[in-house]
A = this chain, B = another copy of it.
Protein backbone atom coordinates (compact mmCIF):
# COMPACT_ATOMS: atom_id res chain seq x y z
CA UNK A 1 0.00 0.00 0.00
CA UNK A 2 1.29 3.45 -1.01
CA UNK A 3 0.42 6.41 1.20
CA UNK A 4 1.16 9.91 -0.13
CA UNK A 5 1.27 12.56 2.59
CA UNK A 6 0.82 16.26 2.03
CA UNK A 7 3.47 18.22 3.93
CA UNK A 8 2.40 21.81 4.66
CA UNK A 9 -0.51 21.77 7.08
CA UNK A 10 -0.72 17.97 7.23
CA UNK A 11 2.64 16.66 8.49
CA UNK A 12 3.98 20.10 9.48
CA UNK A 13 2.21 23.03 11.08
CA UNK A 14 2.28 26.21 9.02
CA UNK A 15 2.21 28.43 12.11
CA UNK A 16 5.38 30.33 12.95
CA UNK A 17 5.85 31.43 16.58
CA UNK A 18 5.68 35.21 16.89
CA UNK A 19 3.87 35.81 13.59
CA UNK A 20 0.29 37.00 14.28
CA UNK A 21 -2.41 34.61 13.13
CA UNK A 22 -3.97 37.18 10.78
CA UNK A 23 -0.65 37.79 9.04
CA UNK A 24 0.14 34.08 8.82
CA UNK A 25 -3.31 33.28 7.36
CA UNK A 26 -2.95 36.02 4.78
CA UNK A 27 0.56 34.89 3.87
CA UNK A 28 -0.50 31.26 3.51
CA UNK A 29 -3.61 32.17 1.50
CA UNK A 30 -1.58 34.36 -0.86
CA UNK A 31 1.05 31.64 -1.18
CA UNK A 32 -1.62 29.24 -2.43
CA UNK A 33 -3.15 31.90 -4.68
CA UNK A 34 0.26 32.41 -6.30
CA UNK A 35 0.69 28.66 -6.90
CA UNK A 36 -2.67 28.64 -8.72
CA UNK A 37 -2.04 31.80 -10.71
CA UNK A 38 1.45 30.69 -11.67
CA UNK A 39 0.12 27.35 -12.94
CA UNK A 40 -2.74 28.97 -14.89
CA UNK A 41 -0.36 31.45 -16.50
CA UNK A 42 2.09 28.68 -17.40
CA UNK A 43 4.74 30.71 -15.57
CA UNK A 44 6.59 28.34 -13.28
CA UNK A 45 7.98 29.73 -10.01
CA UNK A 46 9.23 27.23 -7.48
CA UNK A 47 7.62 27.10 -4.05
CA UNK A 48 10.52 28.87 -2.33
CA UNK A 49 10.09 31.78 -4.74
CA UNK A 50 6.29 31.72 -4.31
CA UNK A 51 6.86 31.86 -0.55
CA UNK A 52 9.10 34.91 -0.89
CA UNK A 53 6.67 36.65 -3.25
CA UNK A 54 3.72 36.08 -0.93
CA UNK A 55 5.78 37.29 2.04
CA UNK A 56 6.48 40.49 0.10
CA UNK A 57 2.72 40.81 -0.42
CA UNK A 58 1.87 40.56 3.30
CA UNK A 59 4.69 42.92 4.18
CA UNK A 60 3.23 45.54 1.84
CA UNK A 61 -0.34 44.81 2.88
CA UNK A 62 0.21 44.98 6.63
CA UNK A 63 3.08 47.45 6.36
CA UNK A 64 5.36 45.15 8.35
CA UNK A 65 9.05 45.47 9.10
CA UNK A 66 9.33 41.67 9.22
CA UNK A 67 12.69 40.73 7.68
CA UNK A 68 13.85 37.72 5.70
CA UNK A 69 14.59 35.82 8.93
CA UNK A 70 10.94 34.77 8.85
CA UNK A 71 11.77 32.80 5.68
CA UNK A 72 14.32 30.92 7.77
CA UNK A 73 11.54 30.16 10.23
CA UNK A 74 9.39 28.89 7.36
CA UNK A 75 12.19 26.42 6.60
CA UNK A 76 12.15 25.27 10.24
CA UNK A 77 8.46 24.41 10.59
CA UNK A 78 7.58 21.87 13.25
CA UNK A 79 5.84 18.55 12.63
CA UNK A 80 2.51 17.90 14.32
CA UNK A 81 2.87 15.57 17.34
CA UNK A 82 0.79 12.81 15.70
CA UNK A 83 3.41 12.42 12.97
CA UNK A 84 4.85 9.92 15.46
CA UNK A 85 2.09 7.57 14.29
CA UNK A 86 3.90 7.13 10.98
CA UNK A 87 6.70 5.18 12.66
CA UNK A 88 4.64 2.01 12.75
CA UNK A 89 2.64 2.27 9.53
CA UNK A 90 2.94 -0.87 7.44
CA UNK A 91 2.92 0.88 4.09
CA UNK A 92 5.19 2.61 1.59
CA UNK A 93 5.22 6.28 2.58
CA UNK A 94 5.76 9.22 0.24
CA UNK A 95 5.54 12.97 0.56
CA UNK A 96 3.45 14.52 -2.24
CA UNK A 97 4.01 18.25 -2.00
CA UNK A 98 4.01 21.66 -3.63
CA UNK A 99 7.34 22.25 -1.89
CA UNK A 100 10.77 22.29 -3.47
CA UNK A 101 12.21 18.78 -3.23
CA UNK A 102 15.55 19.92 -1.77
CA UNK A 103 13.87 22.17 0.78
CA UNK A 104 11.41 19.48 1.83
CA UNK A 105 14.17 16.90 2.18
CA UNK A 106 16.00 19.34 4.46
CA UNK A 107 12.87 19.93 6.58
CA UNK A 108 12.37 16.18 6.93
CA UNK A 109 16.03 15.66 7.84
CA UNK A 110 15.94 18.43 10.44
CA UNK A 111 12.85 16.87 12.01
CA UNK A 112 14.44 13.42 12.05
CA UNK A 113 11.69 12.02 9.84
CA UNK A 114 13.40 11.44 6.52
CA UNK A 115 14.00 7.73 7.09
CA UNK A 116 10.22 7.15 7.16
CA UNK A 117 9.71 8.05 3.51
CA UNK A 118 10.62 6.28 0.33
CA UNK A 119 10.76 9.66 -1.39
CA UNK A 120 9.51 13.20 -1.92
CA UNK A 121 7.40 13.74 -5.02
CA UNK A 122 7.27 17.47 -5.74
CA UNK A 123 5.10 19.62 -8.00
CA UNK A 124 8.44 20.64 -9.53
CA UNK A 125 8.42 17.39 -11.48
CA UNK A 126 5.40 18.47 -13.53
CA UNK A 127 5.79 22.24 -13.03
CA UNK A 128 2.12 22.50 -12.06
CA UNK A 129 0.81 22.94 -8.54
CA UNK A 130 -1.95 21.17 -6.62
CA UNK A 131 -4.75 20.61 -7.46
CA UNK A 132 -3.58 20.17 -11.08
CA UNK A 133 -4.60 16.65 -12.04
CA UNK A 134 -1.27 16.32 -13.84
CA UNK A 135 0.53 16.10 -10.49
CA UNK A 136 -1.60 13.33 -8.97
CA UNK A 137 -1.75 11.39 -12.23
CA UNK A 138 2.01 11.57 -12.74
CA UNK A 139 2.57 10.45 -9.16
CA UNK A 140 0.35 7.44 -9.75
CA UNK A 141 1.95 6.71 -13.10
CA UNK A 142 5.49 6.80 -11.71
CA UNK A 143 5.04 5.53 -8.15
CA UNK A 144 1.84 3.51 -8.29
CA UNK A 145 -1.75 3.70 -7.10
CA UNK A 146 -1.80 5.45 -3.78
CA UNK A 147 -3.93 7.15 -1.19
CA UNK A 148 -3.47 10.86 -0.54
CA UNK A 149 -3.53 11.95 3.08
CA UNK A 150 -4.09 15.68 3.45
CA UNK A 151 -5.64 18.33 5.65
CA UNK A 152 -6.21 20.65 2.68
CA UNK A 153 -9.64 20.35 1.03
CA UNK A 154 -8.30 21.59 -2.34
CA UNK A 155 -5.72 18.80 -2.21
CA UNK A 156 -8.29 16.12 -1.38
CA UNK A 157 -10.54 17.35 -4.20
CA UNK A 158 -7.65 17.36 -6.68
CA UNK A 159 -6.68 13.79 -5.81
CA UNK A 160 -10.29 12.58 -6.07
CA UNK A 161 -10.68 14.30 -9.42
CA UNK A 162 -7.53 12.48 -10.60
CA UNK A 163 -8.84 9.04 -9.66
CA UNK A 164 -6.79 8.76 -6.46
CA UNK A 165 -8.24 7.83 -3.09
CA UNK A 166 -8.02 10.46 -0.38
CA UNK A 167 -8.17 10.69 3.39
CA UNK A 168 -8.95 14.07 4.93
CA UNK A 169 -7.15 14.94 8.17
CA UNK A 170 -9.34 17.33 10.13
CA UNK A 171 -6.75 19.67 11.66
CA UNK A 172 -8.89 22.73 12.29
CA UNK A 173 -11.84 24.64 10.91
CA UNK A 174 -13.12 23.50 7.58
CA UNK A 175 -16.42 23.45 5.72
CA UNK A 176 -17.90 20.61 3.74
CA UNK A 177 -18.56 22.98 0.83
CA UNK A 178 -14.81 23.44 0.38
CA UNK A 179 -14.41 20.02 -1.25
CA UNK A 180 -16.37 21.35 -4.26
CA UNK A 181 -18.34 18.11 -4.39
CA UNK A 182 -15.18 15.96 -4.43
CA UNK A 183 -15.29 14.56 -0.92
CA UNK A 184 -12.70 12.31 0.75
CA UNK A 185 -13.10 8.54 1.03
CA UNK A 186 -12.64 8.92 4.74
CA UNK A 187 -11.91 11.52 7.38
CA UNK A 188 -9.69 11.22 10.44
CA UNK A 189 -9.05 13.53 13.38
CA UNK A 190 -5.45 12.48 13.79
CA UNK A 191 -2.74 10.54 11.98
CA UNK A 192 -3.06 7.94 14.74
CA UNK A 193 -6.26 6.79 13.05
CA UNK A 194 -4.58 5.97 9.74
CA UNK A 195 -3.31 2.54 10.74
CA UNK A 196 -6.72 1.43 11.97
CA UNK A 197 -8.75 2.98 9.14
CA UNK A 198 -6.61 1.96 6.22
CA UNK A 199 -4.58 -1.02 7.18
CA UNK A 200 -6.64 -2.52 10.01
A positions within 8 Å CB-CB of B: 29, 32-34, 36-43, 45, 53, 56-57, 59-61, 128-133, 154, 157-158, 161-162, 173, 175-178, 180, 182
Chain B residue, CB-CB nearest to A158:
B41
Q: A34-B180, A37-B157, A53-B180 are in contact. Are A60 and B175 (CB under 8 A)?
A: yes
A158 to B43 alpha-carbon distance, docked (Å):
10
Chain B residues with Cβ under 8 A from A130's Cβ?
Answer: 40
Q: How many copies does the complex hold?
A: 2
Q: Are B36 and A157 in contact (CB under 8 A)?
A: no
Give chain B residues whose Cβ lies under 8 Å from the Cβ of A43.
161, 180, 182
Q: Which of B36, B57, B177, B178 contacts A177 (CB 8 A)?
A: B57
Q: Which B residues are in CB contact (< 8 Å) with A56?
A: 175, 177
B40 adjacent to A177 (CB under 8 Å): no
By DSSP majority rule, is chain A's interface helix, strand, loop, or mixed? helix
Chain B residues lying within 8 Å of A162, measured Cβ to Cβ, are 41
A176 to B60, CA, bound (A): 8
**Neighbouring B residues of A132 by C-beta, 8 Å:** 40-41
Asked if B133 and A180 make an inter-chain contact with CB atoms under 8 angstroms apart, the answer reads no
Interchain CA distance A33-B194 in the complex, whole Å: 29
Residues of B within 8 A of A158 (CB): 37, 40-41
Closest Cβ–Cβ distance, residue A91 to chain B (whole Å): 26
Of the candidates B33, B42, B133, B182, the one whose C-beta lies within 8 Å of that of A33 is: B33
Q: Does A40 contact B38, Cβ atoms closer than 8 Å? A: no
Given A42-B133, A43-B161, A161-B43: A177 in contact with B37 (beta carbons within 8 A): no
A31 to chain B, nearest CB (A): 12
**A54 nearest CB across to chain B (Å):** 8
Partner of A57 from B34, B40, B157, B178 at Cβ < 8 Å: B178
State A199–B158 Cα separation when bound (angstroms). 45
Q: Is the CB of A38 within 8 A of B180?
A: yes
